[in-house]
């Protein structure tokens, strides 16, 4: 159940945010320079990156924990992996403070700003906050997220000052990070340079025993002449999910199986936050095999498909091939996006 922050908490957050804005950290840090805050109240570190060094979009992004920080890593690797930018963007799991324009501020956020008696003028002068989570539309942060950012920013500010004064230096290009942590024995906050460490994202794998009856049944099916492209992307739209029990708008994924040669959609399914992604993928593939037999090959580009299907495809004798470009899928989602923009 969503709980909103009190006006007093919002005031505390905005006070800290305006102090960060006055420091202008984007003049000193690139978006690849990662700062780490270890809060006593959190089991895992908070990772911070600052955007604005390119003088286009200004902000401070907070990733709470290793799982959240993995979305930053995936976004950084998206181009190299051939992952569509729209997909990588909506897979983000973070709390972002943007310094934008008045038109970018949502009515709910503007009401809070007005109640606080704040007034901003000009380009990139309006601070506003977004909670980004996969399968949801970026939305106003809630009470727990406001509390987290207050605790993070409270320690980020003194650390920033020390970085700018060059009292502490990290070689970010060599994968170092500056860490601020609370020393319980000394009962004080300390800063130190460490190697940046994170826990790689773990994926599920579809593993069925060789002697399982279903494997013999699948292997007995004829191989068809279809090269399947399996892919998914976001609807890129906002769907009110209150009737289904969601406390914020959802942005589902669309999973598709296509015939590479004809571009025809063979199977499709929507994935919302209540569905387990791997189960939907597996069910759809099993439906295809049951209806058409084993495909000639399966082409994919998103890592989830590779990790999930590698063992299974090897056992049933279907080549699973990574491709940076999926022509049929790209055309489908381009048309799909155009349809939703109408």
Per-residue model confidence as pLDDT tens digits over 313-331: 999 999 999 999 999 999 9
Instruction: Tell me the per-residue pLDDT of 144-159, one tens digit each, with 9 for 90 and over.
Output: 999 999 999 999 999 9
Fold of 213-341: Nucleotidyltransferase; domain 5 (3.30.420)
pLDDT in tens, 227-249: 999 999 999 888 987 878 899 99
Residue intervals of the chain classified under CATH 3.30.420.10 are 213-341
pLDDT in tens, 76-111: 888 888 899 899 999 999 999 999 999 999 999 999
pTM of the predicted structure, to 2 decimals: 0.92
Do β-strands 265-271 and 94-100 pair in parallel, antiparallel, or remain unpaired?
unpaired
């Amino acid at each position: 159940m969503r709980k909103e922050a009190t006006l007093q908490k919002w005031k505390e957050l905005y006070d800290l945010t305006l102090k960060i804005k006055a420091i202008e950290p984007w003049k000193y840090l690139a978006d690849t320079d990662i700062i780490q805050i270890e809060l006593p109240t959190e089991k895992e570190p908070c990772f911070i990156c600052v955007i604005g060094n390119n003088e286009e979009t200004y902000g401070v992004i907070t990733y709470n924990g290793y799982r959240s920080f993995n979305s930053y890593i995936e976004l950084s690797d998206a181009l190299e992996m051939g992952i569509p930018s729209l997909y990588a963007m909506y897979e983000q799991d973070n709390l972002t403070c943007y310094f934008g324009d008045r038109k970018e501020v949502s009515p709910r956020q503007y009401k809070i700003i007005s109640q606080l008696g704040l007034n901003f003028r000009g380009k990139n002068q309006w601070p506003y906050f977004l909670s980004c989570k996969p399968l949801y539309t970026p939305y106003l942060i809630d009470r727990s997220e406001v509390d987290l950012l207050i605790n993070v920013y409270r320690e980020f500010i003194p650390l920033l000052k020390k970085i700018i004064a060059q009292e502490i230096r990290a070689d970010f290009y060599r994968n170092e990070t500056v860490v601020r942590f609370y020393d319980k024995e000394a009962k004080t906050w300390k800063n130190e340079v460490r190697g940046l460490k994170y826990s790689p994202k773990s994926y599920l794998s579809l593993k069925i025993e060789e002697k399982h009856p279903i494997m013999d049944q699948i292997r007995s099916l004829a191989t068809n002449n279809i090269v399947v492209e399996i892919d998914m992307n976001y609807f890129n739209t906002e769907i009110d999910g209150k009737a289904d029990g969601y406390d914020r708008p959802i942005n589902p994924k669309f999973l598709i199986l296509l015939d590479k040669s004809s571009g025809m959609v063979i199977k499709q399914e929507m994935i919302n936050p209540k569905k387990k992604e791997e189960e939907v993928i597996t069910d759809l593939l099993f439906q295809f095999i049951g209806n058409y037999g084993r495909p000639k090959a399966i082409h994919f580009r998103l890592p989830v498909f590779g990790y999930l299907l590698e063992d299974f495809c090897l056992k049933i004798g279907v080549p699973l091939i990574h491709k940076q470009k999926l022509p049929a899928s790209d055309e489908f989602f381009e048309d799909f996006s155009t349809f939703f923009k109408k």
